[in-house]
């Protein structure tokens, strides 16, 4: 038998988790799960599928439950992802002289992982960082910031039967980027979130899809966060990803087809 040159896209066994989209796989993409020890067991901080070609992840996936609360603060320590081969790593200094005001934007936010100092530090791996416009996008009070805030609000879970599954990313690939900053890091044209909530085996889902622009100036300034809402099916068409494939087929079909704004607390 000839051994395949394409690596197993999931040597860790984590790809079966509900928050993980269908993996692209292949020699130029790498699936990674960062985790910490909690009560003697590995607890995933977040997972990514990383593109060597674009030096940017396709998405970051993680979950909130009744154990992910906390207030460990911002343990800032930007570092290259140790799991990525050196020639494809990115660095904090890649952003020092980036053109047109692009700054280090978290995908899994520091505020999303507050239950552990170690987990919080992992959010500062550069594989979890994306070039984002500072003015009007990656700053307090912007529409993207409001989207992150409302997801964190939904993630304040107290019941053991409830879980919030989150997939966030910036678009990369042909016709999906605005260009590159230093070290060949792609700049996404759009940023997105796919969100699934499970409570006592009842599911609901919603998605956001935002242009990577200064959303504080026209024509965006008059829009509200709800103007960027769409269904999971619609987001899949925009991004090309297959989200929540690990749900039972009947549940996936139902929750991905539509959303109800009033089902969510804003």
pLDDT per residue, tens digit, the chain (266 aa), is 333 345 566 666 799 999 999 999 999 999 999 999 988 889 999 999 999 999 999 999 999 999 999 999 999 999 999 999 999 999 999 998 665 689 999 999 999 999 999 999 999 999 999 999 999 999 999 999 999 999 999 999 999 999 999 999 999 999 999 999 989 999 999 999 999 999 999 999 999 999 999 999 999 999 999 999 999 999 999 999 999 999 999 999 999 999 999 999 99
Distance CA(206)–CA(235), nearest Å, equals 9
- Kindly state the tokens that stand for 263: 């089902």
**pTM above threshold 0.85:** yes
CB neighbours of 117 closer than 8 A, spacing ≥ 6?
72, 75
Mark out the alpha helices in the chain (DSSP H runs): 117-122, 143-154, 232-239, 249-257
The neighbouring-strand residues paired with 131 are 104
- Give the number of other CB atoms < 10 A from CB of residue 217: 10
- pLDDT recorded at residue 231: 98
Distance CA(247)–CA(110), nearest Å, equals 27
What's the CATH fold of domain 14-260?
Extracellular Endonuclease; Chain A (3.40.570)
Domain ranges (residues) in the chain: 14-260
């Amino acid at each position: 038998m000839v051994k395949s040159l394409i690596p197993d896209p999931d040597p860790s066994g984590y790809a079966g988790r509900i928050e993980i989209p269908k993996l692209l796989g292949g020699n130029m993409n790498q699936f990674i799960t960062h985790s910490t020890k909690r009560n003697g067991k590995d607890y995933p901080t977040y997972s990514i599928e990383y593109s060597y070609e674009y030096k940017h992840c396709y998405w970051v996936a993680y979950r909130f439950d009744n154990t992910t609360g906390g207030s460990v603060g911002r343990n800032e320590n930007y570092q290259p992802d140790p799991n990525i081969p050196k020639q494809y790593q990115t660095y904090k200094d890649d952003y020092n002289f980036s053109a047109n005001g692009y700054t280090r934007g978290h995908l899994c936010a520091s505020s999303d992982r507050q239950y552990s100092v170690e987990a919080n530090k992992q959010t500062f791996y550069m594989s979890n960082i994306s070039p984002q416009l500072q003015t009007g996008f990656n700053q307090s009070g912007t529409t993207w910031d409001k989207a992150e805030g409302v997801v964190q609000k939904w993630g304040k879970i107290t019941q053991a039967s409830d879980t919030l599954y989150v997939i966030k990313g910036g678009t990369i690939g042909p016709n999906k980027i605005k260009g590159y900053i230093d070290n060949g890091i792609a700049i996404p044209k759009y940023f997105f979130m796919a969100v699934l909530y499970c409570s006592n085996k009842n599911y609901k889902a919603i998605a956001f899809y935002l242009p990577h622009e200064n959303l504080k100036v026209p024509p965006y300034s008059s829009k509200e966060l709800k103007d960027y809402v769409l269904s999971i099916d619609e987001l899949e068409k925009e991004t090309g990803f297959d989200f929540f494939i690990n749900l039972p087929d009947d549940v996936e079909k139902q929750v991905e087809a539509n959303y109800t704004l009033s089902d969510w607390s804003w």
